[in-house]
A and B are shown apart, each in its own frame.
Chain A
Amino acid sequence: MSQVFDKLLDARGLNCPMPLVNARKEIGKLAPGQVLKVVATDRGSIADFQGWAKVAKSVELVGQETESTDGTNVYVHYVKRLA
């Protein structure tokens, strides 16, 4: 499944908490209804984006995927700005 998105944030190689810290900053720049795609290599980001989306009132986690290339996993998160 390939999700439509408006902006891409490359957080590969960044350790926790930076993928989420940077995603929060970027989502603030989007208009309501737009989707941010975050690619990260930190496996913990899967659960962390889920947990964050539950706490954050103005975002919705609309999709997550794991892509594997050359034995390296990339974790993809689609975050929609609600308001």
Chain B
Amino acid sequence: MDPLTGDVWTAGDLLDRLERRDAFFVLDVRNRDEFERFRLEGRRPVPALNIPYFEMLEIGGKDEMVDSVVAYVEQDLTGALPSDLPILAVCAKGDTSEFVAQGLRRLGYRSANLKGGMRAWGEHYATRPLVESPDLAIYQVSRPARGCLSYVVASARKAIVIDPLRHLQPYLDLARGKGLTIEAVIDTHGHADHISGGRVLAAETGALYYLHPYDAVHPIDVLPATTPYEFIRDGQVFMVGQHELQALHIPGHTLGLVALRLDDSYLFTGDSIFIRSIARPDLGGKAETWAPLHGQSLRRLLGLPGAITVLPGHFSSLDEADEMGRFVASLDDLKRRNDGLVVLQRESEGGFIRYLLESLPQFIPEYVDIKRVNAGLLTPTEEDAMTLELGKNVCALSQAYTASGGGGQ
């Protein structure tokens, strides 16, 4: 075993290496379309080669997988793989890539297997404390492969969870580990890119589940959610110990989007202001109608105290994090460096709307179904849920992706 790299990397090991900007090479043996849709991205581009395993098997031509990998690499990949970098073998679930890593090691390469494959990476969560005192604790719970961020806000052992993601264990573990009782679960909006854990987490913990009623209607089906929720209204205050968490209705990305402002200190922006970019207004299928609302809502947020710390609902690239791996920035800072906010401050209302409409990434068809799932209009199997959520979120304007350091060539 290579003492530096090990033979197996867990998803957690992989995140550490991506955050540290470690140099390594990826040999991804999934289908080409799977690779295109969902690949490893880091703080800097991760060099990768995609060769489906069945091509190695067939062209390598041996009965056993490892032997075929060895034969294929000797025939076709000599010179294409680095001898001075660890090579991470990657597949969908981590079984086939183990054979690939073994074959590479037999040839003298330093190779490790990604345990559990892209499935494990896609379902990996990281919990980072932003503040932690008995009076106030905020934890950022991220799903790094998808670029999804959620939060646990706690005071005096009582917690509110904001935008919990599909897998509940990270929240339950955190609550148990810190001795917290989850009293309320808030979805800032009806999510399109991921299946919310909100309703299920609330049911599991006996907490109340909150959503703005506008987002309890599927925007394209125009059908009401089938599952229970408590209404959020603009200005509503949730108490977190002595701290006020106030809902600000900021329609635009969705009609029922709320930001949550914790005193003058923190602003949970949901899908409005991210670190590098801003949210797209078209996922409800009504870009031209919603874009002006989005502009007005963002201007409302710009009027908040500049020192307030923005805690976004997504990131587009790991390099948006600070050195501690946290996705946070002050509003003043973002006014200077967030692409969308820079344009917002510079342009007229009409100019900003044009910018929004010219910056829309491709519409993701799965997002219509994910909204159905979140409204209780569709119940997916675990496999379906995984397929719907595959890959990184595309909730920001397109600049977020073209500017991203995480492409990987």
Contact = CB atoms under 8 A, between A and B. Distances in A.
A48 B57 CA distance: 11
A25 B57 CA distance: 11
Contacts of B53: 16-17, 48
Given A15-B93, A44-B92, A51 B54 contact: yes
Nearest to A22: B63
Nearest to A25: B63
Of the candidates B54, B65, B99, the one having the most CB atoms from chain A within 10 angstroms of its own CB is: B54
A24 to B, nearest CB: 7
Contact of A52 (B58, B93, B99): B58
A21 interface: yes
Interface in A4-58: 15-17, 20-21, 24-25, 43-44, 47-48, 51-52, 55-56
A55 B55 CA distance: 6
A21 B57 CA distance: 8
A16 B64 CA distance: 13
B93 to A, nearest CB: 7
B96 interface: yes
A48 B95 contact: no
B95 A17 contact: yes
B63 A24 contact: yes
Given A15-B93, A43-B383, A47-B31, A55 B64 contact: no
Interface residues of B, number: 20
Given A43-B383, A48-B54, A17 B99 contact: yes
Interface in B16-75: 31, 33-34, 52-55, 57-59, 63-65
Contacts of B55: 51, 55
B95 to A, nearest CB: 4
A59 B35 CA distance: 25
Contacts of A44: 92-93
B31 A16 contact: no
B186 to A, nearest CB: 34
Contacts of A17: 53-54, 57, 65, 95-96, 99
B277 to A, nearest CB: 33
Given A24-B63, A25-B63, A16 B58 contact: no
Contacts of B59: 55
B192 interface: no
B91 interface: yes
Interface string B151-189: 000000000000000000000000000000000000000
Given A25-B63, A51-B31, A51-B52, A20 B95 contact: no
Nearest to B30: A44
22 contacts: A15-B93, A16-B53, A16-B91, A16-B93, A17-B53, A17-B54, A17-B57, A17-B95, A17-B99, A20-B54, A20-B57, A24-B58, A43-B383, A44-B92, A44-B93, A47-B31, A47-B34, A48-B31, A51-B31, A51-B55, A52-B57, A55-B58
Given A55-B55, A55-B59, 17 more contacts: A15-B95, A16-B53, A16-B91, A17-B53, A17-B65, A17-B96, A20-B57, A24-B58, A47-B31, A48-B31, A48-B52, A48-B53, A51-B31, A52-B57, A55-B54, A55-B58, A56-B58
